Structures are given as structure tokens and as C-alpha cells.
Amino acid sequence: MTAAAIAVRGLGKSFGSRTALRAVDLEVAAGELLGIVGPNGAGKTTLLRTLVGLVPPSHGSLAVLGHDPRTASLAIRRRTSYLPGETGVYLQMTGAQFLRFAAGFHPRQQTALRDRLLDGFALPLRQKVRSYSAGMKQKLAVAAALAPDVDLYLLDEPDRALDASVRFFLRDVLLDLQRAGKTIVLSSHHLGEVETLADRLEFLLDGAFVPPAAVQAARARLRRRPRLRLGDGAELPAGARLLQREADGTLLVETDGDPMAWLRATPPGAIDSAEVGVPRLEDLYQLLLRAPGGRP
């Protein structure tokens, strides 16, 4: 990792009275794989659109591959492949026609990677895209976005509508791309998978990145919040308080100390099953939104 592929300082974007991004600072080194997570409406798409020059920022300075998207977006787009958040594929084309059309804009293509993607995705390329399912359309869009041989890949929820096995396959492909020296910025809702993939993870909330210390504190607190199902007729043992009862009967509780120690101390048969140390993204958002240092 050497020079910064992306350098953003104090980036802000407003749409009328609504603020989508507020004073975002971001630096992504060349060859880095950055994951951005955040709830819907946090500003992930706006940030990616700003980086590729589709949306002009309201204020702040930014440089992508050494160019300012406000004045040289074309130079950036020549060296960048962008996957929009909304699956943009032409329904009237066949899958093969769409790939050819998309490839026509970037003269240098990674044919081996494209073939690997198409093998892994197993798309019926001779059929019209109109007949594809949502997942197949997303696979086609991902294949078209990853095939160009460019320096930077901006991927807005590439794993959307993909099932788990395809997401794992995609993760391997992205890791290989990174090993080849490409810079990748992707947004996602799958916290666990992005964590295992990305060099760095940033939480975007209400249009700004959450400070790492606040994320660490929230995660530490979440580690004390197991999800569990009680045994038949059992009451919640002492040493934990109920935070939330979900529709399927699962309880979200917060323990006073180490949740593993608390679980070990509970009477036999009181707990049917428990999930500890696997923070869910939505829980993390809720906690960050309520935490004093969490909300930006």
C-alpha cells in the first residue's frame, strides 16, 4: 500500500434541506480493500456516487486517483469501475450482449477473471436479461463491473440479492483482485462477511463515519448481549436483564459481566440455546445511534 487512491476531507452533500453527508474524512490507500457499512440512508451510496463524479459535493475537498471528481470525473471513470446500488442492466439485451456492451467502455478487460466469474455465476447468457431473477441480474452487473482492468473498483452493495454461497465466491474473487494490487471500496449490509474480507471497516451513520473508539465500545457492549432462547417454562436467570423479546421468542439480554461466565452459571435447562459474540449489524446501529460518542 503506497499513495492514497482516495483522499477526502470535510466532504459534505445536501439535497435541499436533507443532509446526506456531513464532513466526511476518508483516506484509502492504493491496493486497500475498504468496507463501508451503515443502515439505509446513512449516505453510503451518495459517498460512492460523489467519488465517481456522479454527484457534485456541496463542500469539502476530494481526490480520486489523483483527480478531483468535480473537474476530471471522466479521467476517474476511465480508471474506475463502478457498480451502482440499483442493479442497472438492460432488460432487452441478452446476458452476453450486456457484457459486451459494458466491456466496450473499458478497452482493457480481465478475461480470465471474467471467465471465472461467469463460470461461478452460471448465468444463462443467451437468454434475455428480462427473464433473469433479481439475483441473476445482480450477478450479471457484478461480472460487468469486475471484468474491466482498472485501478479502482467502487462497489455499492455487490452482495445484494446474492445467496450465501455466491457471496463467498464473490469474496474470494475480490480478495484475488486485491492481491493483484487493485483498490476496492465496497458497501454492504453483511457485517460478518465484510469484516473477514476488508482490510478496514468504516461505519457510516447519519452521513459521517463513526469514530473507531465508539465502534469498539459499542462492540464490547454488544459482546455482553447474548441472544438466547429459554428452556420450557424457565425464567430468565439473575445477572442479566431483558432488552428485547423478538417475535420468534428469542430474547436479547444484557449480562452484568462476562456473558460466558453468566451462561456457565445458569441452572441446567434454563437456557435452551444462546448466541454470544456475534454482533448483528442492526444491533450495532441501534447502539451507535444511542451512544454519546457514536452518533457523529
12, 60, 84, 237: which one binds other proteins (CB under 8 A):
84
Which of 78, 128 has the CB closer to other proteins? 78
- How many binding residues for other proteins (CB under 8 A)? 21
Site for other proteins in 126-155 (CB under 8 A): 141
Residue 173 near other proteins by CB under 8 A? no
* Cα–Cα–Cα angle for 205, 161, 295, rounded to 5 degrees: 5
Stretch that binds other proteins, among 64-72, 90-98, 117-125, 192-200 (CB under 8 A): 90-98
Query: Contact between 90 and other proteins (CB under 8 A)?
Result: yes
Is 104 one of the binding residues for other proteins (CB under 8 A)?
yes
* In the complex, minimum distance from the CB of residue 52 to other proteins, in angstroms, rounded to a whole number: 6
Q: Which is nearer to other proteins, 103 or 125 (CB)?
A: 103
Which stretch in 32-40, 74-82, 157-165, 263-271 sits in contact with other proteins by CB under 8 A? 74-82
Question: Considering only residues 13-52, where is the footprint of other proteins by CB under 8 A?
Answer: 49, 52
Q: Can residue 194 be called a binding residue for other proteins (CB under 8 A)?
A: no
**In this structure, what C-alpha cell is assigned to residue 29?**
490507500
Residues whose CB falls within 8 Å of the CB of residue 61, separated by 6 or more in sequence, listed in order = 8, 9, 10, 11, 68
- C-alpha distances (whole Å) from 129 to each of 99, 116, 154, 231 are 11, 20, 23, 49
Report CA dihedral (124, 130, 133, 138) to the nearest 10 degrees: 80
Q: 200: how many CB neighbours lie within 10 A of its CB? A: 12
Answer for which of 106, 139, 182, 225 binds other proteins (CB under 8 A) is 106
Q: What is the rounded CA–CA span in Å between residue 292 and residue 134?
A: 39
How would you label 159-189 residue by residue, b for 16+ Cβ within 10 Å and e otherwise?
Answer: bbebeeebbebbbebbeebbeeebbbbbbbb
Residues from 52 through 71 that contact other proteins (CB under 8 A): 52, 54-55
Estimate to the nearest angstrom the gap between the alpha carbon of 280 and the chain centroid. Answer: 14
Are the CB atoms for 255 and 240 separated by under 8 Å? yes
Instruction: Give the interface with other proteins as residue ranges (CB under 8 A).
Output: 49, 52, 54-55, 74, 77-78, 82, 84, 86-92, 101, 104-106, 141
